[in-house]
Structure 1
Amino acid sequence: MNGSEYALLAGINLSAPLFHAPWGIVTGKNLMDIGTLVILEGLLSFDNALALAATVKSRLSDPVDQKHALRYGIWGAYIFRTLVIFLGVTLMKIEWVKAGAAAYLIWLAAAELWPKSGSEADDETLPDAHERGISKYLKLSPLWSTILAVELMDIMFSIDSIGVAFAISSEPWILIAGA
């Protein structure tokens, strides 16, 4: 029984993009794509992880809460990226979406190479999520406001790495294995 049959038995078709891949056939190119994705994800995620850890450490004083915030943030990131991969497989079939993703990556690279004048002096600090913003209206605890901030930051940080991943491969199982 293949993955498509499992999806039909379950009455859903969300897994169809994942299971159309030949799981039994692992080629050298697929392994190279996965290896490339692992390296690129590691490079793109390193500074993001430092920023998330610094945010958690600055907002929460209890080490147990810090650990929980980072753990929930990591799980949220995995869930978000998996959903985006399923959505992205469909969207990457549309040429103008691919062109837009490529233009965004080029813009990011140009912004890093040629920053605006005075942008180095601007310190981008995050507001205390517990004192302002949506956390104030939702009446979230410091732990949950930090988790919300970590999730939102991860979503913003992951846009470039997801675009790069789709430039490497359009096979969902390769994208998930490489992430």
Structure 2
Amino acid sequence: MNTLHLELRTATARQHQDLDRVVAGSLDDRHGYTRYLLGMLSLVELLAPPPAAVDARSAWTEWFDPQRQALLYQDLRGLGVLPLARGLAPLPASCWMGAHYVLEGSALGARVLLRAAERLRLRDPGVPLAFLRHHAQPGDRWPRLLAELQTLDGPLREDAVRGARYAFGVVAGAMTEQESA
């Protein structure tokens, strides 16, 4: 059993529930869908810069998916939004896996969100779905991430928890900013 996975889930449970409540009805209209995409873009941009440490950088290349960011920009342009870079400081390499836990975990829920977005698209045919279609594709990323988390120990576990909490905050912050705009 992966105890770090359980630690991450427990440590971020409140943030996860709060974000789920925000996302739950967000795909009912174009504005909410845009807000969701901007939240995901913030998370993807947070994870885009490679860590400075050489060993962490080589691990990063295994996880980085440049299509996510490109498809998010494509979909947002399709919605008439030209997002500005948020200018977030790069994550320390030790926090990166915890933040990545949030991104890969979101891919698990993306299948449900894709169905909601497809229903939105029936009502609003101009809604682009490229990112969600890509993000919702089945694959082996989640089990590989869980296996990688199992290898972390000591202070790296605490850093992973810190990274996951920070990542949830980044997504929630970006969605909240868009909501008030």
Tell which structure's C-alpha radius of gyration is larger. Answer: 1
Give TM-score, length-normalised by structure 2: 0.28
